[in-house]
Chains A and B, each alone.
Chain A
Amino acid sequence: MRGWPDVPRASPRAVLLALGLVAALCIALFMTLGVQGSWAFVLPFRAGKVATMLLVACAIAVSTVLFQTATGNRILTPAIMGFDSLYVLIQTCLVFFMGSAAMAAADRRLTFAGETAAMVLFSALLHWVLFSTARRSLHMLVLAGVVLGVLFRSLAAFLQRVIDPNEFAFLQDRFFASFNNPHGGLLMVSALAMLGAALLGLRAMRSWDVLALGRETAIGLGVAHRREVTRIMAIVAVLVSVSTALVGPVTFLGLLVANLAYAVMPSFRHVHVLPAAILLAVISLVGGQMLLERVFAFDTNLRVIIDFLGGLTFIALLLRGRVR
């Protein structure tokens, strides 16, 4: 792809402003379109949905962009590597061994904290094992992740087959917790978890720009490569837990918004790319949900639409050969 050096490029700030306006418009329309009956009921009800979507948008966009920075690859996402199937497996195991009654009685905030801790622990373990043994560690890590993802999915599917049908219904309800029935307590805990991840990440933002140049160059420039990659993996684990706990696995949204963000943002810096990806995710989720509710009249599932568009992006990326 040859560019024209004299074509003026939009500034990153202008792009962010435009995306921000579109996102705000989407949210405003979503909140106010087609209200029948009491505003006092509709507004808080819809605000809960919007809050869920905002959290999920942040979690998915940030985790995907960071994951791609750490792996130096633009088609890998935490979802493809089986992070969210691990979350599903943990949930399934809990219900399988403890029963849905105990799970339903337990505080969801507590179980969420426990599950997130397990996720972080697991990704740290995977990371540590592979970093201390293999030399081409990142590629090994990714390959192992893909294979483990299949394993987790199969194990979860197996447990779900042998489980009591009532328990299965309970589980399915958890995994397909779509954007329509957000859980208030969980929202607060998720927001706190994301805040923690953001605090962990904000200071490292500039070294992530260097990380995108690849391991050797990053080390040459004095970035502690291993520490930064570990930090990213921990943040990704927390964020994936948040989004999966809130709405279940969404496979292709991350891929879609991350690559759109790279395409529209005339800058490589995380300071610019991360907000752009978040705003794009907000637009896709809120806009998509609005289409779903107003145009398709709830006939289909938002995840179906997003996975359809995301899948198309994935294929387009493969065909254009822009995959490293």
Chain B
Amino acid sequence: MIEALGVTCRYGATVVVDDVTLRLPAGGITSIIGPNGAGKSSLLSVISRLLPAASGRVLVDGMDVAVTPGDVLARRLSSLRQDNHLPARLTVRDLVAFGRYPHSKGRPTAADRPHVERAISYLGLEAQADRFLDELSGGQRQRAFIAMVLCQDTDYVLLDEPLNNLDMRHAVAIMRLLRRAATELGKTIVLVLHDLNFASCHSDRIVAMREGRVVMQGPPEAIMRPEALREIFDIEASVHEIGGDRIAVFYR
């Protein structure tokens, strides 16, 4: 279970996460949605200890992320940011193999190899496995980073806008993959998503944020309602049920 207890986070005088208390039970896919500047990415960064909280605590399985040794946490929780630094001269396989670092401390063993190959094939990167990252397209690179995080093989996986740069086919493939990881392997997956309908079709829970606060949370049926969307995003949307999924239409 991930618990954020009264988490506040500010950049200078600007409060971006305002006293958020949130409990995410283990298992399933949780999507965090909300308008730009709602504090979604900051909250995710605090949970994954990339950003110190000004006040409040975050507990992952009861361990305080601010004081737990980094390598202990790295075997329990993995995270991917929106923009990733790219060192040159790194192949896809090299990058994915870094996912084993928390387990092998940089000395990969025979047991690590299948993990790496499996993560590469999950993301359909076999053909690119030995290419350098700077020779790939943005979407392929994004998939390589997701493969690295999956290769880390942690109970909790936090992804900040994983569908960035991806075409529809790969976006759907990744959401299906995450679904499989959640149901078959019992992983807990937390995503920041911008595409409302992806969140609606694939999440078990949706957490809606606005102006640094959690304004609503619940199953997709509870969030995907015209009144709720108006409150969260200030938009007029109609919600239609198509093939069992709730789809919001707000394009006009």
Contacts and interface: CB of A to CB of B under 8 A. Distances in A.
Nearest to A223: B70
B88 A268 contact: yes
Contact of B50 (A1, A216, A223): A216
Interface in B42-101: 48-50, 69-75, 78-81, 84-85, 87-90, 94-95, 98-99, 101
Main secondary structure, interface of A, reads: loop
B106 interface: yes
Contact of A220 (B48, B95, B106): B48
11 contacts: A1-B134, A2-B135, A210-B98, A210-B106, A219-B48, A219-B49, A220-B149, A221-B99, A223-B101, A225-B70, A322-B88
B89 A220 contact: no
B105 interface: yes
B87 A212 contact: yes
Contact of A268 (B70, B74, B90, B135): B90
A37 interface: no
B174 to A, nearest CB: 18
Contacts of B84: 213-214, 216-217
A206 B135 contact: no
A274 to B, nearest CB: 14
Size category of the B interface is 35 or more
Given A1-B135, A3-B135, A222-B73, A72 B89 contact: no
A285 interface: no
A123 interface: no
Given A3-B131, A209-B106, A221 B98 contact: yes
Interface residues of A, number: 30
A201 to B, nearest CB: 14
A168 interface: no
Contacts of A72: 85, 87
Contacts of B106: 206-207, 209-210
A267 interface: yes
B85 A217 contact: yes
Contacts of A209: 98, 106
B79 A220 contact: yes
Contacts of B135: 1-3, 5
B141 to A, nearest CB: 13
A222 B75 contact: yes
A181 B87 CA distance: 40
B250 interface: no
Give the interface centre of B50, B101, B102 by most chain A CB atoms within 10 Å: B101
A84 B6 CA distance: 47
A266 B89 contact: yes
Contacts of A268: 87-90, 94
A262 B74 contact: no
Contacts of B102: 221-222
A220 B107 contact: no
Contacts of B72: 222
Interface string B124-158: 00000011101100000000000001001000000
